[in-house]
Amino acid sequence: MKSKMVNPNSVTDMEIMNIKNQAKMTQVLQKVGRGRRKVEVYLSKTSQKFIEQLATELKKQMAIYDKKMPNIFDFFDYIIKCVHVEKRQKREKYKKIMLSYDEKDFLDMQIKGTLEELERQKKALKWYNIIKKIAFSSVKKQNEFLLNEIRGNIKK
């Protein structure tokens, strides 16, 4: 296998940051679902429903990696099992879920990536797309709230 030569003068700082972030994400992905779950995270009713939808969507998007990374799918199943509520049952006001540090970092990075992408897409919209801008703002607030709960900034 031949390696590519890269001119150090042609690499931008942004590309270096992207490479570092991708390497960190790869490390975290390998560790997710394998550590001991010691971190308590309390989720409100809205965050419970949102993280359930988020885990379901991530599971669908990562379906091609099912055989390569079964630990990720075990983690998604764990999240869904913890926060899922059957019909005609009420959600708890605050639900405690246990996460490992790597799982917490994984969720943190996923939500931060979502926030960055939402901001990028919102900036690309024209002034007359006010409804889409409002929808993006709403989703952004939801993600920020969930991120604060996962980081432990909001206590029950």
What span, in angstroms and rounded, lies between the C-alpha atoms of 86 and 70?
26
Confidence band for 155, pLDDT divided at 50, 70 and 90: low
User: What pLDDT sits at residue 6?
Assistant: 66
The alpha-helical segments, DSSP class H, found in the chain are 13-31, 45-61, 70-83, 101-124, 130-151
> Which residue bears the tokens 């607030």?
141
36-53 pLDDT per residue, tens: 888 888 988 888 899 898
Whether 78 contacts 140, CB under 8 Å: no
Higher local confidence (pLDDT), 80 or 10: 80
116-133 pLDDT per residue, tens: 889 989 998 888 889 999
What span, in angstroms and rounded, lies between the C-alpha atoms of 87 and 141?
27
The beta-carbon contacts of 147-153 under 8 Å, at least 24 apart in sequence, are 147/108, 147/111, 147/112, 147/115, 149/41, 149/42, 149/43, 149/44, 149/47, 150/41, 150/104, 150/107, 150/108, 150/111, 151/108, 152/41
100-118 pLDDT per residue, tens: 888 888 888 888 888 988 9
Residue 8 has pLDDT above 60, yes or no: yes
Higher local confidence (pLDDT), 6 or 52: 52
